[in-house]
């Protein structure tokens, strides 16, 4: 059974109880009552999630959360798959907003930060409602666009990635030579995760970073890059910093091809099921969960409730328009418990409690 199908089926079981509840939300602000809406009218908005690829456990979790939220209001979910293309992310979302004449609620990862403005402006030009995830430039803010640009969710990866880097330093005894495999160079999480590693390395003069290159969050590209590292550096490599779990799987493929699996410490990020299992058996030192399932559902929920007039974004404080999601370090000592509570069974979230797991408003340096 695919990861996304499992999420959808398990969340459907919880849906009946959720629909029966109403919710009071507004942590840190005036409480507002929102009743979950069974959208069965002919003019119900189109719900959509725009993302890179379905062939990735992380994005499966994101969109599974979106599907669960859509199920909670009895609406289908449209998938806008851009394949990593900035142009397609803009054109598809803009076309959907135009087709529906603005009667849509779109949650989307713009693919990279500079592309976010074009995505937002394309949707808003047709009076659609949008929430963005992960990637935007620091000068772009939802409150500058009224109510239609509802919210932006990201994760503060700088400090969590320092924790993973510290675990790597401990695993290699504070000395040796490491390599880094990063995400797309213009992506906020790729930048912050690399910077977290570099910050920790300042304290370790006996650890040399041999090279750090982008593999664009791709398993295949990470496998190729790791093979190149092994050819260039061979036995000099004593540790590996991976910026996400999908790339970690590619790194492991390259190591297995050389008979090196389990011999070089690796730290990772994202908390996907496959890598959590690898943390459990000691193949990977740690990973970090950003709870993508929750993020995928909450962002779509914000856009939906704004579109139907149950939530007015311009009345919300800025920390509820741009906010961090949760980041939880997973090591071998707690990986089994994490899997039991968050993978084997999926928490039943109330999608109208928008900021229940927020780590506060986004801070700009």
pLDDT band at 35 (very low <50, low <70, confident <90, very high): very low
Residues 234 and 307 in one domain: no
| The total number of structural domains that make up the chain | 2
Rounded to two decimals, what is the model's pTM? 0.80
Let me know if residue 349 belongs to a domain: no
Q: Could you tell me the end-to-end alpha-carbon distance of the chain, in angstroms, rounded to an integer?
A: 43
Residues 85 and 172 in one domain: no
Q: What is the mean pLDDT of residues 216-238?
A: 97
Residues 149 and 168 in one domain: no
- Of the three residues 289, 312, 341, the one that is the final residue of a domain is 289
The average confidence (pLDDT) of the chain is: 89
Domain limits for position 80: 3-155+291-325
Instruction: Give the per-residue pLDDT at 109.
Output: 97
Instruction: Give the per-residue pLDDT at 4.
Output: 36
pLDDT per position as a tens digit, 93-105: 999 999 999 999 9
Residues 225 and 94 in one domain: no
More confident residue, 28 or 69: 69
- Of the three residues 265, 289, 313, the one that is the final residue of a domain is 289
- Of the three residues 241, 268, 289, the one that is the final residue of a domain is 289
pLDDT(17) > 70? no
pLDDT per position as a tens digit, 266-296: 999 999 999 999 999 999 999 999 999 999 9
Q: What percent of the chain has pLDDT over 70?
A: 88
Instruction: Give the per-residue pLDDT at 27.
Output: 26
Residues 119 and 253 in one domain: no
Instruction: Check which CATH number belongs to the domain holding 54 and give it.
Output: 3.40.50.2300
Residues 151 and 225 in one domain: no
Let me know if residue 354 belongs to a domain: no
Q: What is the mean pLDDT of residues 37-42?
A: 50
Instruction: Give the per-residue pLDDT at 42.
Output: 62
C-alpha span between 82 and 141 (Å, rounded): 23
Whether residue 301 contacts residue 308, with contact meaning beta carbons closer than 8 Å, is answered with: no
Q: Name the residue with tokens 């970073």.
A: 209
Q: What percent of the chain has pLDDT over 90?
A: 82
C-alpha span between 177 and 38 (Å, rounded): 57
Residues 85 and 192 in one domain: no
CB contact set of 107 (below 8 Å; sequence gap of 6+): 48, 49, 50, 66, 130, 131, 132, 133, 296, 299, 300, 303
Residues 194 and 54 in one domain: no
Q: What is the mean pLDDT of residues 239-247?
A: 97
Let me know if residue 245 belongs to a domain: yes
pLDDT per position as a tens digit, 167-201: 999 999 999 999 999 999 988 899 999 999 999 99
Let me know if residue 347 belongs to a domain: no
Residues 83 and 190 in one domain: no
Instruction: Give the per-residue pLDDT at 352.
Output: 97
Residues 171 and 248 in one domain: yes
Let me know if residue 344 belongs to a domain: no
More confident residue, 166 or 262: 166
Residues 193 and 110 in one domain: no
Residues 273 and 300 in one domain: no
Let me know if residue 191 belongs to a domain: yes
Q: Work out whether strand 207-214 and strand 176-182 pair parallel, antiparallel, or are unpaired.
A: parallel
Q: Name the residue with tokens 């550096």.
A: 233
Let me know if residue 249 belongs to a domain: yes
pLDDT(155) > 70? yes
pLDDT band at 57 (very low <50, low <70, confident <90, very high): confident
pLDDT(306) > 90? yes
């Amino acid at each position: 059974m695919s990861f996304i199908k499992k999420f959808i089926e398990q969340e459907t079981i919880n849906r009946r109880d959720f629909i029966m509840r109403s919710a009071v939300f507004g942590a840190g602000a005036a409480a507002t009552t929102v009743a979950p809406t069974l959208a069965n009218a002919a003019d119900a908005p189109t719900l959509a999630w725009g993302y890179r690829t379905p062939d990735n456990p992380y994005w499966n979790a994101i969109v599974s959360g979106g599907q669960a939220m859509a199920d909670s209001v009895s609406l289908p979910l449209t998938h806008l798959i851009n394949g990593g293309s900035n142009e397609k992310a803009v054109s598809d979302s803009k076309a959907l907003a135009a087709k529906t004449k603005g009667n849509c609620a779109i949650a989307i990862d713009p693919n990279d930060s500079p592309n976010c403005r074009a995505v937002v402006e394309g949707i808003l030009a047709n009076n659609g409602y949008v929430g963005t995830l992960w990637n935007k430039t620091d000068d772009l803010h939802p409150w500058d666009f009224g109510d239609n640009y509802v919210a932006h969710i990201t994760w503060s990866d700088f400090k969590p990635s320092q924790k993973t880097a510290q675990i790597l330093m401990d695993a290699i005894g504070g000395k040796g030579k490491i390599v880094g495999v990063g995400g797309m160079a213009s992506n906020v999480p790729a930048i912050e995760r690399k910077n977290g590693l570099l910050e920790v390395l300042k304290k370790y003069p006996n650890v040399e970073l041999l090279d750090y290159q982008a593999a664009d969050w791709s398993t295949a590209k990470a496998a190729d890059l790791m093979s190149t590292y092994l050819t260039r550096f061979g036995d000099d490599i004593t540790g590996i910093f991976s910026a996400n779990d999908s790339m970690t799987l590619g790194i492991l493929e390259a190591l297995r091809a050389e008979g090196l699996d389990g011999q070089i410490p690796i730290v990772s990020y994202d908390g996907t099921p496959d890598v959590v299992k690898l943390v459990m058996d000691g193949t990977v030192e740690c990973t970090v969960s950003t709870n993508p399932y929750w993020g995928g559902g909450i962002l779509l929920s914000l856009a939906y409730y704004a579109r139907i007039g149950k939530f007015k974004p311009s009345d919300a404080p800025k920390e509820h328009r741009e906010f961090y999601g949760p980041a939880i370090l997973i090591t071998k000592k707690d990986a089994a418990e994490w899997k039991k509570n968050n993978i084997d069974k999926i928490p039943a979230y109330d999608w109208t409690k928008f900021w229940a797991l927020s780590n506060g408003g986004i801070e700009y340096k």
